[in-house]
Amino acid sequence: VGLMARIRDQHGITLPQLNIGGGHAIAYRPGEEHLNISALAQRVRAELEDGCARAHLPLPRLTLEPGRAIAGPAGVAVYRVLAVKRTGTRTFVAVDGGMSDNPRPALYGVRYAPRLVGRPTTAPPRLATVVGRHCEAGDILADDVALPGDIHPGDLLALPAAGAYHLSMASGYNLIGRPPVIAVSNGTARTLVRRESQDDMNRRDIGL
């Protein structure tokens, strides 16, 4: 509002719209806070009305961009377990992805809550660390998370709230192809982005 007032005073222009952006937080794990749209709307409206009244500005058309709050919960990353290593009280579960499709845990410590999908189990939970396939010390997708004690190679692990950044931040790290993106609606699945193949990478290689 202060910027809008300066633009009016210096240039004689009253801007009709205010875009306050987005980046609203989502819950990556059970118990975490998520975006309360009603509370956000009430607070923003009150602040905007007060600020415009003090600056003698008409209320602008307000725009918000809750992209992550929409896309994040809509996506689930699914990994296949490659190996399970138990050393004393620690369990390491290695999956077929990692830093190449989700660098966020390594970059700035985002924590996820993976869960076993695809088969039922009554095995008691055991704390485990889910690691990627890239042989890097920081290639950890989830640390100290409860997973069934009978988890084994071939199982599927799902990471909820993966819709906002997995696709946009995926890379060819260690020459691992990026995974596909599959849309699922009302029991029907279709490919939105196909899996990146070795041929895709080879096309960029000009050779000697």
> Could you report the per-residue pLDDT of 91-112, keeping only the tens digit for each?
999 999 999 999 999 998 888 9
Q: Which two tokens stand for residue 164?
A: 């906002």
Q: Is the pLDDT confidence value at 157 over 90?
A: yes
Among the listed residues 135, 146, 183, 201, the single catalytic one is: 135
Mean pLDDT of 168-191: 94
Q: Which fold has domain 75-202?
A: Lyase, Ornithine Decarboxylase; Chain A, domain 1 (2.40.37)
User: Where does the chain hold its CATH 2.40.37.10 domain(s)?
Assistant: 75-202
Q: Is the pLDDT of residue 23 over 80?
A: no
CA angle 142, 89, 122 (to 5 degrees): 70
pTM: 0.84
Determine how many CB atoms are found less than 10 A away from the CB of residue 101: 24
Residue 52 known to be catalytic = no
